[in-house]
């Protein structure tokens, strides 16, 4: 099991809406994430910088890598695009983070 962490960025004033949309995550999106072997997925917000920090466990990183091609993921990106920094295809701008310490 690989732990994967990355960061994203919210646009100012979008904190409450971002939280609201994730509180009502679509069941088909949740299923796609689980089907890709992702579990224990959390997103944290630094309200001072609007940086989102995400961490997840990936059973098979190559399976997780197929998620961007899933239609429900692309639909979610379109839904979230107005709230955060995104690429031209509406995928979130993500920056992988390097693990430097872990205490199991």
Predicted local confidence at residue 61, as pLDDT: 83
Residues of the chain whose pLDDT is less than 70?
A: none
Domains of the chain: 2-97 (3.30.70.100)
Q: What is the pLDDT of residues 8-29, one digit of tens each?
A: 999 999 999 999 999 999 999 9
Q: What's the pTM?
A: 0.92
**According to the model, what pLDDT value does residue 58 have?**
96
What pLDDT is stored for residue 63 in this prediction? 86
Classify residue 36 as exposed, middle or buried by CB count within 10 Å of its CB (0-12, 13-18, 19+).
buried
Catalytic residue among 22, 34, 87, 95: 22
Q: Is 34 a catalytic residue?
A: no
Q: 15, 47 in Cβ contact below 8 A? A: yes
């Amino acid at each position: 099991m690989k732990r994967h962490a990355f960061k994203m960025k919210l646009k100012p004033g979008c904190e409450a809406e971002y939280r609201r949309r994730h509180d009502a995550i679509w069941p088909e999106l949740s299923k796609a994430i689980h089907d890709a072997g992702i579990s224990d997925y959390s997103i944290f917000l630094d309200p001072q910088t609007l940086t989102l920090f995400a961490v997840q466990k990936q059973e098979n990183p190559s399976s997780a890598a197929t998620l961007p091609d899933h239609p429900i993921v692309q639909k979610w990106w379109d839904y979230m695009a107005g709230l955060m920094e995104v690429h031209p295809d509406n995928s979130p701008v993500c920056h992988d983070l390097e693990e430097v310490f872990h205490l199991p």
